[in-house]
Every structure is written in C-alpha cells, then in structure tokens.
Amino acid sequence: MDFWRRAPNPWSQDVLLGVSWDLMWAAAIAGVAFIVAHALWSKVRAGPGEDGGGAPGSPGSGAGASGLAARVLRHSLTSRLFHWVMAASMLVLLVTAFFPVLGLRFDWVSVHWIAGVVLLATIVFHVVHSTVVRNWRTIWIDGSDVREGTAELKHFITGQGHPPGKTGKYATANKAFHHAAVVVGLGAIVTGVLMMFRIDTVFWAANPYILGDGMWGVVYVVHGLCGVALITMTAAHVYFAVRPDKWWLTRSMIKGWITREEYLTHHDPQKWAPEVGEGATGASAGSAADPAAVA
C-alpha cells in the first residue's frame, strides 16, 4: 500500500501531490473493523438484559434528585443547531472529497470549499459561544477523566476492576473523541484555507505562488491525512449514535432533553448539576419540564 502520491514538477523536482487513495480505503476498512469488533465484543461482555452498554448505575432519589423535573435539558437549541449544521457540512466535505475518487464526477471544488467555509464559521461560533455563554470546561479532559477512562477501558476489555460509574455531563470517551475531532478538524481547516488560495473564490483571486511546490505538497498531505482520519471517526461516531444503549444521547441531540431516569441512571449530580436555563433541577423547576421552552 502506498502512503503518498508523488510526481515531478516542471523543474523535474520530485514533489508530493497528496496522500495515496489507498489510505481512503484503509480508513473505511478501519472504521468497519472497529464497528464490527466493538459490536461483537459488546455482545460477549454484555450482562443479562444489556446490549453491551451496561448502564453505569440505576435511577434513584439520591443527591440532586429532589425536585427534578420529568425532563432535563441536556443540549440547548443553539447547541443542537450548531451540531447538525456542522455534521451536514462535514458530510458534504467528505462526499465532495472522496466520491470523485470513486468515479462520481461533478463540480465538487466549489461545493467543497463552500462547505468548508460553513464548517469554519460554525466552529468559530461554537468557540465563542462555549467560551462566553456555556461552560467550556465540561468537555475537556482532566486528571480524573484519565483515571476513570483507563479503568473503564480495562473493564470493557478484560472485565477486571469495577464497572464504570456515573459521569458528569460528558463521559471520558465523549471528551476524548471531542479532543481528537479538534486536532483533526483544525488540521483540515487550516490546510483547507491555504488551499483556497489556489482557486478563485468570492474572498480573493487565485494565487498559487504564496507557497512553493514543496510546501504545497506538505499542505496536501496534511489535508489528506485529516480527511481520511475523519472517515474512520465519522463511521465510529454514527455507529455509537445508533446503538440502542446510546440512543438516549442521540435523542438529546435531536430534542434536547433526557428523562429524569436517564439523568439519575447515567449522571452523578455532584459532577453535573444542570445550570439554570440548561436543565430542570430544584423544587421550582416544574415549569421547565418542557425543555423546548427553555432552549
């Protein structure tokens, strides 16, 4: 399997053209292999009545449950709109990047860079919104997440140790995926913006001479590596989104809320007590039982 595509430029210098398309197939195969392996091992490790997820706890009336409304808002309307716009732009980027390689011919360049601009705009908005309005720390890994995540992975693979306990708003796996998406996404966006200088857009006229052939090759390779990584990551993300034991999370990204039972089953109120306007806690929160009114 080749990793890079190379060719001589007009001065007979051997330069990089980008990643080998073999990596596209490798990424797709890796995604399918991960899905199959995880699904099979989840079945093997599942306890009675479980589908491999295994609820980390059981609902109860512990601390933080008093006055909890029937529904707890997990994602505001703004957060949900950001997520789905970002998801749509990402799918368009993947289709326009790799379908032409499969022989599907269309005017993909214009669609590709426009989708990239939409993705960049949504991410800039998300950064500002998370920093100014939301609590951005809830999604970042700290020392306790590393310990809990390591223990959870060990328990899932070997069955040793204690099963995972209740988490804060985001489990360690969610945070780890977010971090990986940040690295890969930024790599794709920075190199994508540079590549836009090679074509005419509404922002500027084409200027392919801002970088030399050697540096352009590096830009193409980094962009391609990020692109093929996103194939595997997207496949894994969709897989977890449709798993029966994770559907409650997917529903919350559609409707915004989780039930009181789901909150108490999966979340530790000491680690995540929904904020005012984010969820319904407290004796006077009954009127917030419909998160649509809060979002």
Distance of alpha carbon 113 from alpha carbon 101, whole angstroms: 17
Do 154 and 160 meet the contact criterion of CB atoms below 8 Å apart? Answer: yes
Distance of alpha carbon 255 from alpha carbon 74, whole angstroms: 9
46-87 per-position pLDDT tens digit? 654 445 544 455 555 444 555 678 899 999 999 999 999 999
Do 101 and 227 meet the contact criterion of CB atoms below 8 Å apart? Answer: no
Residue 240 phi, psi (nearest 5): -70, -30
161-200 per-position pLDDT tens digit? 666 778 888 988 889 999 999 999 999 999 999 999 999 9
Residue 66 pLDDT: 57
Whole-model pTM?
0.79
Which of 50, 44, 98, 53 has the alpha carbon at shortest distance from 235? 98
pLDDT-above-90 percentage for the chain: 51
Do 73 and 256 meet the contact criterion of CB atoms below 8 Å apart? Answer: yes
191-232 per-position pLDDT tens digit? 999 999 999 999 999 999 999 888 999 999 999 999 999 999
Do 159 and 45 meet the contact criterion of CB atoms below 8 Å apart? Answer: yes
CATH architecture designation of domain 75-137+165-271: Up-down Bundle (1.20)
Return the domain boundaries, the chain. Answer: 75-137+165-271
* pLDDT: which is higher, 13 or 245: 245
CA dist list (Å): 168 to 54, 145, 171, 269, 276: 17, 10, 7, 7, 16
Q: What sections of the chain are H helices per DSSP?
A: 22-45, 77-98, 108-132, 143-158, 172-196, 213-242, 247-255, 260-266, 291-294
274-292 per-position pLDDT tens digit? 754 444 443 333 333 333 3
Distance of alpha carbon 80 from alpha carbon 64, whole angstroms: 25
* pLDDT: which is higher, 102 or 162: 102
Residue 150 pLDDT: 79
Residue 167 pLDDT: 85
